[in-house]
Structure 1
Amino acid sequence: LIHHLTQAFGGVHYIPEKERVFIENWEVEAFRRKIALKSSHSGRLQGKIAVITGGAQGFGKGIADGLAKEGACVCIADLNLNGAEKTAQELCNKYGILSAFAEQVDVADENSIVNMLTNIVRKCGGIDIFISNAGVLKAGRTPTFDKKDWDFVTNINYTGYFLCVKHAAPIMIKQNAISGKWTDIIQINSKSGLAGSNKNAAYAGSKFGTIGLTQSFALEFVENKIKVNSICPGNYFDGPLWSDPKKGLFKQYLESGKVPGAKTIKDVKQFYESKVPMQRGCYPEDVVKAILYVIEQNYETGQAIPVTGGQIMLN
């Protein structure tokens, strides 16, 4: 009957492939429109879906705040689900009900990453910005450094980044084929990825290695309109990574003897502050500015961008 009735309109007109695919994926655009309507403000990332691993505290939390402030819907992905949910709620209270949500992930566990990404796509329909931020540090002299600590650092910092890209990239490839737009994978690296770090071989090695991954991913996925870059922050002295009284870097470096002559945590902090030409540590808002640059710049990929107050200067 339907086929017969179409004769009054000149016969059957089949939906073009591009429109068919769009209809099948309409929930992506519907979710973006919902974000725009629910948001209490506009911004440079309005309607974008962003994911940040290790987003419950420290640099990750600050970066998530900066992205939500610019209008993105941010998935706070963290091993600490309670912390992720708390951060997500704070951002929703601050920027609007659809500004953030939480997902649990262990970046050293491939199945955990797949489950996280599956949940995100079901909720949001896609991913525009994936920020690989989760990382750990264990300092110590090489002759006495335990292999299990080496494996711990490498599995999270290096292999975890690889696994995240392995499973996030295919989502972006399908999405970009429909939209024709660029998407971004951004790794939060470190100044230790650009210069060696004394008595800190496991961490520096993992960060040097991930810059190699970034450059390789950039070459592989540019044809799919995925940009891949690393941001290399200086030291965030006020964050828990450095200042935690039980396991922070100030305490670790004091105990490992990394700073010659240091007797107290205050001595260690003063030593590191004196090494920065701009005489302060790096803050999350400094990193957010670099992230916004690589997102908005569609002619840059495979870069490792220092945000170090002049402590690292590229040749």
Structure 2
Amino acid sequence: MKILVTELMWDDGIETLRQKGYTVDYDMELSRKREELLGLLPAYDAVIVRNETKVDTEFLNAAEKVQVIGRLGVGLDNIDLKGARERNIPVVSARNANATSVAEYVMAAMLDASRPLQAADADVREGNWNRKLFTGYELNNRTLGLVGMGEIAHRVAKRAKAFGMNVIGFDPFVAPFDHVVQETGIKQVDLEELLKTSDFISVHVPLTNGTRHLINRDNMRSMKNHVYIINSARGGIVHEGDLAAAVEAKEIAGAYLDVLEKEPVQIDSPLLKVEGIRLSPHIAGLTVEAQSRTAMLIAEEVDRVLHVGQSLCVVN
């Protein structure tokens, strides 16, 4: 059987598939070579993608032999799940494989905002000694608001609690006795209260019609002027133009964005012009450990579907 990998996949996952007897063709840039990809698809029994490969009607029609699609990650907005289901093609995701890495990214963002060591280092190297300028603040007793309370938010909450932070959360799909509330002591609030009372706001919801531009200029005006917004979920949940305007007007302090509406960042993006906004290239879940876990999990689950027809990680 033949498996096509269209984006970055760690070597141990590819080697696992080859040891199981599969022919694996790997081109980490194939997601950006659409016509070539569509021409290759008919020859493969399985395809493994990340977030850049558009698994749409055209893709699915070309994937004549494909029995399973593996997603190296958990976001599914690039995959037509309904279309895959209609064609009886299961989609398996790397459920929770990078959750710890994303949680640590959120903590790193909050620590960077409260103690900007890189900026202090640069200033010292210029011959300065501005102790007052770089007087930071503690995370202890600050309030972290979690928009979405899934597994990643759960892990963020546990770490934030260890720093002495107050953690509140909004998620209409989480009940009062679910583990994320009971095991971490998150206080459930409505979105309006969360946005008004948080010192940091971290986004952990999928991009849907209901969450697109969920964070916008209207509700930014209700936030504290020292708040930081952290988005490691999906671009489009935070309205980027509104965010740039709010930070520039000093209505809020800034943001840490690991995801954007259009990736890579566009040269005319207003985000690039605002000093208080920190950008990273969709790397929150891309630690060495998470890459390995993700690759191994998808390799095992794709093999399981091909040989057994079942997987615990099927999402459609």
What interval of TM-score do these two structures reach, taking the shorter chain for normalisation? Answer: 0.3 to 0.5
Q: Structure 1 length normalisation: TM-score?
A: 0.36
Q: Structure 2 length normalisation: TM-score?
A: 0.36
| Structure in which a larger fraction of residues adopt helix | 1
Larger RCO: 1 or 2 (CA < 8 Å, sep 6+): 2
